[in-house]
Amino acid sequence: KNSQIRKFRLSKEAKQKADRRRREVEEAFIKTTHQLRQEAAQARREEKTRERKQRLLEEEDPEKQRRLEVTFRAHEYLRFRF
């Protein structure tokens, strides 16, 4: 089978319109993927925070628990500082 893509001759205005539309679609796609990546990163951060809290609660040794709490508070401070 000979499957060739037919080339259309577009007027200057039609070419500009097609290029503009293509650019708009690309920008919308980039915004959507960016938002999805942001949400995934936020979910990972929240999961790490939950794990730290859980580790803190499960720790038996009071001295180690205190050190974990200091580390946890430092992470929280840095996270909300910026």
In a domain, 23, yes or no: yes
Q: For residue range 28-40, what is the model confidence (pLDDT) as tens digits?
A: 999 999 999 999 9
Domain around 47: 12-81
Confidence of residue 3 (pLDDT cuts 50, 70, 90): low
Q: Looking at the whole model, is its pTM more than 0.95?
A: no
Q: Do 59 and 68 touch, CB atoms closer than 8 A?
A: yes
In a domain, 30, yes or no: yes
Q: How many domains does the chain have?
A: 1
CB atoms < 10 A from the CB of 53, how many? 13
In a domain, 7, yes or no: no
